[in-house]
Structure 1
Amino acid sequence: MSLTLRVLAPDQSVFDGTAEEVILPSTTGLIGILPGHISLVTALDIGVMRVRTNGAWNSIALMGGFAEVEADDVTVLVNGAELGDSIDATTAEAELEQAKAKVSQMEGQEPSTEKIKAQQTFNRARARVQATK
């Protein structure tokens, strides 16, 4: 048995195929999906989705969204996504360091839109780095 997995972003179909197992970064923690999983809808956080196909694990950096599991069909709708294989690890690491520095500069400041944006940029950069590993 296998899962039918679709990962869709507004500008592209990131993944459309079968998988043996999927691990999703939900807003309440990681959720593992195997064939026969109970139906569910969950919000997704910025993070890394792991997909096992043909015994090998692949990573996809997700930028938040929703996932629906119905029978053995998994549909993931996200704000943005990148296959881990397509991310340049060196560039991603540099972007993470820049984002980390920006968040550190804002530490201790009152909450603001700029501070929230800096934290989101950091979270996206961290997900991209994690997806390369």
Structure 2
Amino acid sequence: MSRFTGSARSTNVQPGPQINDRPRPVPRVRAGGSLVAFAASAVVLLLLLIFILQNGQRTEVHFFGAQGQLQMGVALLLAAVFGVLLVTVQATVRRIIQLRLLTSRHRTTSYTTNTRPDPADTDPGTDVPEGRN
């Protein structure tokens, strides 16, 4: 025996929950952001490929005694990548030094404010009143 009689959906019911007589907005998800990042990186890679293909003339490159011939686009792309790596290494080392200085300052201030007297430095009879020795 069926509990439902008639159609499953009536004609006056609107799909989805309503908030103040307005449809609830679609929630944002992380997959949408990663899809946008993926599309942007694909466009950048396409532009780099076009740049390399349009600058195909050979040029001679010298680097620390090594020499060879590369396409102009490849040589410029390699120079840009090495420049980005140098800046990244410099910024990372600078941040590491900054964090080490901050933690060493934090340690020295916490040691000076939270010091307790050493029990070996105190005289054992100082807490006993004078008349009760």
Q: TM-score range with shorter-chain normalisation?
A: under 0.3
Normalising to structure 2: TM-score of the pair?
0.22
Higher relative contact order structure (alpha carbons within 8 Å, sequence separation ≥ 6): 1
Greater helix share, structure number: 2
